Structure 1
Amino acid sequence: MKVLIAIDGSNFSRDALQWYLKAIHTPGNKVILVHVTNHLHNFAYNTSIIPGDPELIRLAYQEEEHKAKAIIDEAKEFIGKHQIDGEVVRLFGNPGEQIVKKAEDIEATLVITGSRGLGTIRRTVLGSVSDYVIHHSHVPVIVYQHH
């Protein structure tokens, strides 16, 4: 089985990854952990940025890069610690679109994502990565939500 697991550094994605390891993983599975950076979305919803201030934009970009590196490093450590046949991939753009495209490109047999549990209004306004993946993926999708 080839499994794509979306990671974003949140406890929700960590929980989904732990759940996969306990409930589904078997030796021989190939696991691709995918982190998607969406600078445009992050900047659009960051109210601390003054439009047109290059220094603040540069600092915000550096902060996003620092966060992404930490997520990637944590994911690589997880794969190594649990001796998983897998890799960590970083993509850029709209997370839902990139996850679905990567799943198609690698011919994944399953996609797993965590759910942040956004309220109805926030999900409607901001969109939901898991909603997008569910509706556009050509393979089964598990949305893990810890209760």
Structure 2
Amino acid sequence: MKVLIAVDGSKCSRDALEWYMRHFHLRENKVTLVHVTDHLHNFAYNTSVIPADPELIQLAYQEEEHKAKTLMDEMGDFLSKNQIDGEVIRLFGNPGELIVKKAHEMKATLLITGSRGLGLIRRTVLGSVSDFVIHHSEVPVMVYKH
């Protein structure tokens, strides 16, 4: 089985990965962990960044890059530690679209994502990655919500 698991560093995505390991994982499965960085989305809705201040934007970009690199390293270590046949991939752009596209490209048999449970207003304004994935994936989707 080819399993794609979306990871974003949130507790929910980590819990989804742990849940998969406890309930679904088989040694013969190939696991692809996908992290998507969406700089445009993150900067547009981060209230701590003033769009006119290039220095603040650069600092926010560097912080986001550091977090993403740390997550990629942690996920790679997780695969190694648990002797999982898999890889960690980082993509750039719209998370929902890229997760669905990657699952299709790799001919995944299962796509797993967490649901952070955004409030109605944030979900309406920002959209929900898990909602997008559910409605656009050709691959069966399991949404983990604690």
TM-score category (smaller protein): over 0.9
Aligned to 2:124: 124
Q: CA shift at 1:106, angstroms?
A: 0.6
Q: CA shift at 1:52, angstroms?
A: 2.4
Q: CA shift at 1:120, angstroms?
A: 2.2
Q: CA shift at 1:119, angstroms?
A: 2.0
Q: Which amino acid aligns with 2:48?
A: S
1:62 equivalent to 2:68? Answer: no
**Unaligned 5+ runs, structure 2:** none
1:144 equivalent to 2:118? Answer: no
Aligned to 1:74: 74
After superposing the two structures, state which structure 1 stretch, 79-88 or 120-129, moved more. Answer: 120-129
Aligned to 2:111: 111
Given the two structures, how large is their TM-score scaled by the length of structure 2?
0.98
Aligned to 1:94: 94
How far apart, in 1, do the equivalents of 2:41 and 2:4 lie? 23
- 1:87 is paired with a residue whose SS is strand
How far apart, in 2, do the equivalents of 1:83 and 1:100 lie? 26
How far apart, in 2, do the equivalents of 1:50 and 1:140 lie? 40
Given the two structures, how large is their TM-score scaled by the length of structure 1?
0.97
How far apart, in 2, do the equivalents of 1:111 and 1:88 lie? 14
Q: Which amino acid aligns with 1:39?
A: H
Q: CA RMSD in A?
A: 0.7
Aligned to 1:44: 44
Kindly tell me the number of residue pairs found equivalent between the two proteins. Answer: 146
> Equivalent pairs: percent with the same residue?
75
